[in-house]
Amino acid sequence: MLHLTLRQLKVFESVARNLSYSRAAEELHLTQPAVSMQIKQLEENISLPLFEHLGKRIYLTEAGRELYQYSRAISQQLADMEVALDELKGMERGKLNISVVTTANYFAPHLLAKFCQRYRGVTVSLNVSNREAVLKQLADNMIDLAIMGQPPENLDIDSESFMENPLVVVAPPGHPLCQERNIPVKRLTNETFLVRESGSGTRSAMERFFAAHKIKINKGMETDTTEAIKQAVQAGMGLGIMSQHTAELELETGRLKILDVQGFPIIRYWHVVNRKNKRLSGVANTFKEFLLKEAAKFLDESKG
């Protein structure tokens, strides 16, 4: 008879998913020796090695791959049990586990604050990551919900749009194009654009727009944060294309200006996303309904 503990399986699942003792230790808020000890005890209990070390990397053994499938199923059942128990408690003591892409972080905390004011017993775990990391968290079933722009097509997910996400061209206030109206898109070929990293939803939308107009733009600095683009545009390094929601403060204070370019704003949408067939808790379902019914209205009121 196997003598396994849930703690050992949880540690193993994290190491197996990350293929790293150090990342698992960070994720579980444990020391690396503590993680190693749990894995060693688990291997002794089942009398089989779970990992093999090749150079500085680790790989799952056949036994490790088999146990990983069972550990994920057990983790999912435990998560479902927690959801069921939370539903019995009602909305008084629920927990919401949510991730948002970096560009959504400019408005998501305001929505969460409004939601928590309404449901004061709710606790929120908010993770802010780039699109690739959020998609991995969805794939690994680490979160209840995600907020992002264009949802992925290759994941088994449910997605609903809840608010417009206009992409605009921004420039420093002293830029000559700030004085012009109805600027032809071709005029932008003379400008340098500061862009997000490849794989970013904003970058992809920008590239599709210019490809549709058969225009090649000059790309300057590339960065993985919108904040860096805003600072660089203010410094006169070039123009930027970003969600208008991410630049509200700079637009209100006059540090950035929206250019009146033909074809802009590009209207995209913010989406709330979850794994298909995932059993959402009462809190997660209620927050999802809150986004769909009230998010756009609340943000408009908060700006006013």
CA 95-99-101 angle, to 5 degrees, is 160
* Residues in Cβ contact with 180 at an 8 Å cutoff, skipping those fewer than 6 apart: 259, 260
Tell me: the pLDDT tens digits for 27-74?
A: 899 999 999 999 999 999 889 999 998 888 999 999 999 999 888 888
Q: Residue 261's pLDDT is what? A: 96
Tell me: the pLDDT tens digits for 256-279?
A: 999 999 999 999 999 999 988 888
Residue 206's φ and ψ, nearest 5 degrees, are -60, -45
What is the total count of domains within the chain? Answer: 3
User: Residue 106: how many CA atoms within 13 Å on its side-chain side?
Assistant: 16
Coil/strand/helix, residue 276: coil
Domain that holds residue 224: 164-268
**Interatomic CA distance for residues 196 and 278, integer angstroms:** 32
**Interatomic CA distance for residues 62 and 42, integer angstroms:** 15
Sign of the torsion angle spanned by Cα atoms 161, 129, 122, 82: positive
Residue 164 pLDDT > 70 = yes
Does the predicted TM-score (pTM) go above 0.85?
no
Q: Residue 56's pLDDT is what? A: 85
Mean pLDDT confidence for 251-258: 96
User: Residue 197: how many CA atoms within 13 Å on its side-chain side?
Assistant: 11
* Per-residue confidence band for 291, with pLDDT thresholds at 50, 70 and 90: very high
**Interatomic CA distance for residues 268 and 149, integer angstroms:** 7
Mean pLDDT confidence for 118-141: 88
Range in 87-96, 165-174, 211-220, 270-279 with the lowest mean pLDDT? 87-96
Count the neighbouring beta carbons within 10 Å of the beta carbon of residue 212. 10
Say yes or no: 150 and 184 in one domain. no
Quick check: is 34 in a domain?
yes
Residue 182, sorted as left (phi over 0), alpha (psi -120 to 50) or beta, turns out to be left
Please, what is the average pLDDT of the chain?
Answer: 88
Say yes or no: 219 and 101 in one domain. no
Mean pLDDT confidence for 287-297: 88
Say yes or no: 151 and 197 in one domain. no
What is the enclosing helix (H) or strand (E) of 275? strand 266-275
Q: Domain with 117 in it: what CATH number? A: 3.40.190.10
Residue 1 pLDDT > 70 = no
Coil/strand/helix, residue 80: helix
278, two tokens:
């995932």
Are residues 187 and 263 in contact, defined by beta-carbon separation less than 8 angstroms? Answer: no
DSSP states along 101-142: EGGGGGTHHHHHHHHHHHSTT-EEEEEEE-HHHHHHHHHTT-
Last residue of a domain, one of 73, 100, 119: 73
Say yes or no: 32 and 147 in one domain. no
Return the C-alpha torsion angle 103, 106, 109, 115, nearest 10.
Answer: -90
Tell me: the pLDDT tens digits for 86-116?
A: 665 655 567 899 999 988 988 899 899 999 9
Say yes or no: 154 and 175 in one domain. no
